[in-house]
Amino acid sequence: MKEFKLYINGQWTDSEDGKTFVSYHKANGQEVNRFAAATVNDVDRACRAARAAFPLWSGLDGETRSDYLRKAAAIMRRRQREMAEVEAMETGKPVFDTYGFDTRVSIWAFEYFADLCREIKGEVIPLGEINQRDFDFVTYEPYGVAAIIAPFNFPLHLLTRSLAPALAAGNTCVIKASSITPTTAAIMGEVFEEAGFPAGVVNVIHGQGSLVGNALVSHKEVDVVGFTGSEAVGRQLMHLSADSPVMKKLVLELGGKGGVIVESDADIDIATTCQIEGFTFNQGEVCCAMTRVIAHEDVYDEYLAMLKAKCEQIRIGDPLDYETRMGVLISEEHLQEVDALVRRAVEQGAKIYCGGCRYTENGCAGAPYYTPTILTDVTPDMEIWRTEVFGPVLCVCKYRDTEDAVRLANDTEFGLGANVFSRDLVKAYKIAQRLNAGSVWVNLPNGMHMACPFGGNKNSGSGREYGTYGLHEYLKVKNNMWRMH
């Protein structure tokens, strides 16, 4: 077991009151690492350190900031396997995914935004004949101090996708991972130290969101907040921002309840293969998971039979086994919540087509493993249709008319992702235009690319991550109007 202190102003320090907490291996309950538990005063120290470092960091040219980010990426690449394995233990997801996806795209984020450091440019606005003597230009500047708060399901990836552009833009940062999965964020403190980042540019704190996260979002020195998590917490952060001495800009990626339309002309093999990834990846603990299938009545039975057969082929087991493709839920309490939603759906008239219970084979008894679950006869008024389950649970209903399919897909308070499966790409395009979601994937599972914007509508949040869109979330716009004589 390793002990991590707080990383504040370039120094590793104990918390003010000396209290600590531990993280656990989700598959066997063993302790993984120990962490200093920050107090409100520790949060204040971290925010003040970030503010003090801001003039230096924001004053560096893009080339120099780019060099720092690339140094960090190189160190992350060297420590990739270490980070992947500890993240598999703390999250319960397969190391196959933490190595092949989570850590890989986190490194990619630093490399990608290192390049964008050099591309922050302004623009000139012609004012016309009336203002011939005036000159107007727009500049893009960092906000100041950015607070980046990551969730338990992708603690490194969802941290770095906000942290890298915030740093590239010239902001200094205070970061906090979930107290359930804190190790990779703590390791990032070691990465920044080794890379030689100036003191205070990145500060790493640990602790409960209800104390540390709230204090961070409320702090007067914080200018912008990047948060990924639940809708309920997102709403709370909006209140905290409004009540703080200085209102903050919030970049929020919250919950989802992705609608999937399977047209009668869809390639069912492709559609079911994508669907397996879309609702079982990361044990279904994914905001943009494909959790509501709306299948045409002509392919409904074929689709279900093929999907069930593919569910039964998923290898569930030890997260540290590179052959495992689906791991363990984040906690026993969460498993009970997932299972309770399934039970209530059955009471309301849904039928369990497959799964719907704890998984106990392959040495998994005693840990919170849950079988991939397909529910049929689900209606839009059911709780399971409207609530984000955050587990490997899929609702399926049938439709006859495309108008009904679009209406059902949009009948949700969320708007993060949606999918369409059809061989007719003109028809798929027209359907996608009408779906109220931040991302629509056609004949693909939910996915990402560092250059492509990602974020939600409605209760799924505000703002966009990735690409130049994500970079500009951490840049404020200044207009400059000059009289030229």
Residues belonging to the active site = 253, 287
Supply 92's token pair: 């319960």
Whole-number Å distance between alpha carbons of 1 and 5: 13
- Residue 163 Rama label (left phi>0; alpha psi -120 to 50; beta): alpha
Other CB atoms within a 10 A radius of the CB of residue 80 amount to 17
